[in-house]
Chains A and B, each alone.
Chain A
């Protein structure tokens, strides 16, 4: 499945993501790490205040595509792998790994790198390397 290289749209979208991270820190004092926010929306032992902020942030994420649909008359373009057992395993690994490693693409890859955190830089290099290796194996060594 080929996709079009979109440098300007991706740069613009990335800047919106950065702006969201700055606004969340300025108003709520929290890092815009999606795995942390998402898990705090339902995990035990979360303060009511942290849970409230997390639930509303996730609600905002969930509303973006429907609002996009209302404005543009169609869903954003996407292609999602249809191998459901594979997607179940992928989901489990992403969720488990993100919490064990204290962050995902947003928390480590955007906010952590922005703060110059050594932990986040190491985590980002690690998950990038493991993701590149995974795609190399599935698409070129066994998938063909």
Chain B
């Protein structure tokens, strides 16, 4: 059941991206181009999504002790603003502004197989792998493993 609903959620998410126009990098890049061919659509996408998920997530996580098919709600607990959060977001923004794709739209557009998408997605997955498995240099330094 878990997997079935995960599949359904992915499908709904993908349809949301297509209907909203966000699987099209041209619309995303035009949102970011305030001084050129500006298309404010992306703000309406985030607005529509938050209008549903803000009350929806609050209601679900407060009215139930656990999800329907699981033991616990996996909610982020960190509240500190660490350097990685800011650096990561800034790096992400540069890539997003260059390609017009963030991870959801890139995967949704993958089957359409434009050459730009076919290059973007493997490099995106590579970047994810690197970020997850590159040892934290500061941590290694503290342990005395590197100078």
A interface with B by C-beta (< 8 Å): 1-7, 9-32, 34-35, 38-39, 42-44, 49, 52-54, 56-68, 75-84, 86-102, 104-106, 108-119, 122-124, 126-136, 138-140
> Chain A's nearest CB lies how many Å from the CB of B96?
5
Question: Chain A: which residue is nearest B16 at the CB level?
Answer: A16
Q: List, in ascending order, chain A residues with CB within 8 A of B36's CB.
A: 139-140
Q: Name A1's contact: one of B26, B67, B103 (CB within 8 Å).
A: B26
B91 interface residue (CB < 8 Å to A)? yes
> Chain A's nearest CB lies how many Å from the CB of B24?
4
Proximity bits, B22-57, A CB within 8 Å = 1, else 0 = 111111011011111101111011111111111011
Q: Name A80's contact: one of B41, B88, B89, B117 (CB within 8 Å).
A: B117
> Chain B's nearest CB lies how many Å from the CB of A140?
6
B interface with A by C-beta (< 8 Å): 1-27, 29-30, 32-37, 39-42, 44-54, 56-58, 60-61, 64, 66-76, 78-81, 84-104, 106-112, 114-117, 119-133
Q: List, in ascending order, chain B residues with CB within 8 A of A35's CB.
A: 103, 128
Identify the 9 closest CB pairs spanning chains A and B, nearest first. Answer: A60-B10, A101-B88, A13-B20, A64-B14, A14-B48, A95-B127, A134-B97, A18-B52, A130-B93
Q: List, in ascending order, chain A residues with CB within 8 A of B40's CB.
A: 5, 7
> Chain A's nearest CB lies how many Å from the CB of B6?
4
Question: Chain A: which residue is nearest B6 at the CB level?
Answer: A56
CA distance A86 to B100 in the complex (A): 11
Q: Name A78's contact: one of B20, B24, B64, B104 (CB within 8 Å).
A: B24
Q: Name A56's contact: one of B7, B24, B70 (CB within 8 Å).
A: B7
CA distance A106 to B12 in the complex (A): 14
With contacts A68-B15, A86-B98, A95-B103 taken as known, whether A27 is within 8 angstroms of B49 at the C-beta atoms is no
**A13 and B99 contact, CB distance less than 8 A:** no
Q: Name A131's contact: one of B18, B97, B104, B117 (CB within 8 Å).
A: B97
**A133 and B97 contact, CB distance less than 8 A:** yes
With contacts A27-B67, A90-B101 taken as known, whether A10 is within 8 angstroms of B20 at the C-beta atoms is yes
**A76 and B96 contact, CB distance less than 8 A:** no
**B109 and A65 contact, CB distance less than 8 A:** yes
**A3 and B37 contact, CB distance less than 8 A:** yes
Question: Chain A: which residue is nearest B98 at the CB level?
Answer: A90
